Amino acid sequence: ALSLNDTNGFVKLVTLKEDDTLIGAQVVGTNASDVIAELGLAIEAGMNAEDIALTVHAHPTLGEMSMEAAEKVLGLPIHTM
């Protein structure tokens, strides 16, 4: 988002408390549709926050937002503002 000079928006993950399995997601901002597709697949596949955080995401891309949100669920965010 910084490289696009547009930092408006957010990614919100809804996870189960016991195992961080992803059960919902919201993405707001520039090119949100590019990010929500990955999260929809993660929900369908039964992935948890750690699975998403460990998935390789190209840098710098908006796709990293889902990784950062998953790391925040785990208490490990690096680039959140």
Would you say 38 and 53 are in contact if contact means Cβ atoms under 8 Å apart? no
Which domains are delineated in the chain?
9-73 (3.30.390.30)
State the catalytic residues.
59
More confident residue, 37 or 4: 37
Cβ atoms of 48 and 25 closer than 8 Å: no
Long-range contacts of 55-61 (CB under 8 A, 24+ apart): 60/2, 60/3
Choice between 5 and 75, residue whose per-residue pLDDT is larger: 75
This model's pTM is above 0.75 = yes
Q: With the C-alpha atoms ordered 56, 60, 66, 70, is the resulting torsion angle positive or negative?
A: positive
